[in-house]
Structures are given as structure tokens and as C-alpha cells.
Amino acid sequence: MPLALYALTAGSFGIGCAEFVIMGLLLQVAGDLHVSIAAAGMLVSVYAFGVFAGAPVLTVATRRMPRKAVLIALMAIYTLGNLLCALAPNYEILLAARVITSLTHGTFFGVGAVVATGLVAEDRKASAISVMFAGLTLATLLGMPAGAWLGLHFGWRATFWAMVAVGLVAMGVIALLVPRSREAHAPAALADELRSIARPQVWLGLAMTMLGFAGVFTVIAYVQPLLVRIGGFSESAVSPILLLFGGGMIVGNLVGGKIADRWPTRSLVGTLLALAVVLLAMRFALHSAVAMPIFVGLLGVAAFATVSPLQLRVLRKAEGAGQNLASSFNIAFFNLGNAFGAWLGGVAIEHGPGLAALPWIAAAITLSGLGIALVALFLDARAPLPAPALACH
């Protein structure tokens, strides 16, 4: 794998930290800013919704810029957003700062995925995507537990100061290692890009991404209160348990990339089914001091095994001119699913069956994504084969 891929990994690590660290800080933020757990959970939802809104807008706005310059500019906005989070005097300002930070997320991963696949041969494209997304998994393995530890010992603002430093380092690494010659391009006409992503199979892919992944955030957005309030763990135990989730994400990300390269269709169905099964079974592990940490790790494996198959599906169905926009749209729909899942989890906690029901609700959402995947594959099978070319003599 080219060295430039690991520069993209560094950037995805920084941006992944911004998405995930808040989940280990909900109790501290809620207590310090005098809001409910569900209100603190909205810091997850507004970030995810900001990714959904910002990804297509920023991708179109920056489409004529060199991709390297786009990636560096996005990391600068990320750093500024985390600085505002660290300085936020109240809940409303913190919400606004989270939105600013989130705007960079979708376009970074969308443009980064296109850059990554352009650096390798055809049979390594899914693996290249998984290498770039490895930064996101490292953010959960290292950034998420470290953020929870910093929040517990030094206050939740210390975590955001740490992310400011991460953003500055990532910006420098991208500037140093991503070559301009590899990403210079003449953008396709916007109308061609829009036509490319308007295909029904692209939108089915986006729908399966949103619903398939929404179940993950229905649970993981509230992992701290689930562990403390339901599982009976101490707050100091949350950080090491989150290490298991991050480790599972790294394993799942690498496995998902490998199997998507080899079996693109089977991996799509298999990973979504595995995720639903893990979520269903997790409900029975909530009160077990042994089983619950294991299932947190398994959730990480199952969740990120889906990423490369889902991303590759949309890229292949968009083809050609629409890949940049389709890639960013798919990241946006991952995060629309995150926002929906975190919101639905908050509704279940405050107005529904409560914390303990979250795994079953999550499994139902993921199964709906699997249903859409099966419909899309059925339509693939029904599609007419291209007519053979006539030989000339």
C-alpha cells in the first residue's frame, strides 16, 4: 500500500476522534452543563446530521479544487471546530461547535476514499478504503477510551483540547505525504455527476447504508450509561471496555475490506446479517459483567465489517463521473443513520421502553437495511445482461 494512504489514515483518525469521543463523555457533559442524558446524546445526533448536510454541499463546492488542498482545508475547519468545543460556555454553543466540526467529516472521507482507490490496482480498492478507514477504527481503539479517561480525570474540555492537537498534526502529515501529482484532476460536469448518482441502485445502496448502520449508533451512542446504569460497571471501567470496541472495529474493518474484495455481494449480506445477530444477542448480555464487554467488542467487529462492502457497492453503482459525489453521499448516509440511531435511542430512553431495550431496537433497524440489500441484489439479478459486441471481419 502506498505511503500516501497512511496520511489519509492519520486524517481519518483525527476526524473519527471528533465523532466518537463524545460517547464516553455523556455523563460528564450532562452533569457539567446541567442537561439530561438524552440532551447530551443530541451532541451525537447533531454531529451526524451535520455530516449528512455538509458532505454533498462541501463536495460540490470544492469539486474544482485539488483534492490535496481540499483535505488540508477540511482538517483546518475540524481543528477550529474542536477549539470552539473546548471553549464552549454552555450547551447551545457546544451544539453549534459540534455542527461546525461535523461539516468536514463526510467530504473528507468521501474525497479521501476516491483518492485512496486511485492509488492502487483494481483488485486492491476495497482494501485501500479499509486502510483509510483504519484511522476511524484507531479513533475508537485509542481516541475514544483516551477521551473518556481524560474526561474522567481532567474534565470533558481536556478531551477537545487534545483533539485540537490531533487536528494540527494530521494537517501536517497530509500536507507532507499526499502527493499532488496523484490527485490532480479535471472534474466532470456537475450534471454528469448528478445523473450518475441518480440511478435507483445508487439510492438503494444509500438506503441500506443508512438503515444498516443506524442500529450501531442506537446502542453505541449510549454505551456509557448502558454500562454504568444497566451493567453496573464503574465509570472508570468504561474506558477499558471501549478499548474492546475499538479493537473490534479494527478487526472488522480489515476483515470487511478483504471479504469485499473477494466476494462483494456475499459480504454485503453477510456483514449486515452478522451485525443484526450481534445486536439481538447483546440484549441478553446487558447484566453480565463477563458477557457485556465481549459483546461490546463483537459489536465493533460486526459494525465496521459492513463499511467497505457498503462503500464499495455505492462506488461501483455510481461509476465514472459520479464517484466523488456518490462517495461523499454514502458517508453522509452513514451519518444520517448515526443521527437517526442516536435520536431514536434518546426517544426510547425518555419516552419508550428505556435503556435496556436499545439493542433490540437497533437490531430491528439493521434488519431493515438488510431487507433493502436483498431487494437491491434481486434487482441486480433481474437486470438484463449487456448485448455482446458484434465482431468485425
Kindly state whether residue 74 falls inside one of the protein's structural domains.
yes
Give the model's pLDDT for residue 79.
Answer: 92
Name every residue whose Cβ is closer than 8 Å to that of residue 75 and which is 6 or more positions away in sequence. Answer: 11, 14, 15, 104, 108, 167, 170, 171, 174
Residues in the chain: 393
Nearest by Cα to 319 from 53, 117, 82, 106: 117
Q: Can you give the pLDDT at residue 391?
A: 42
Whether residue 81 is contained in a domain is answered as: yes
Which residue would you say has higher pLDDT here, 112 or 216?
A: 216
- What's residue 161's pLDDT? 93
Question: How does residue 182 score in pLDDT terms, banded at 50, 70 and 90?
Answer: very low
Position 188 scores a pLDDT of 61
Q: Is the pLDDT of residue 25 over 50?
A: yes
Identify the pLDDT of residue 198. 74
Structural domain for 300, as ranges? 3-382
- pTM comes to 0.70
| CATH for 248 | 1.20.1250.20
Q: What is the pLDDT of residues 318-352, one digit of tens each?
A: 766 666 677 777 877 887 888 888 888 888 888 87
Domains contained in the chain, number: 1
Q: Which three cell numbers stand for residue 82?
A: 474542536
59 is a domain residue: yes
More confident site: 97 or 307: 97
Confirm whether 391 is domain-assigned: no
Q: Specify whether the CB–CB gap between 337 and 213 falls below 8 A.
A: yes
Q: Report yes or no on 82 lying in a domain.
A: yes
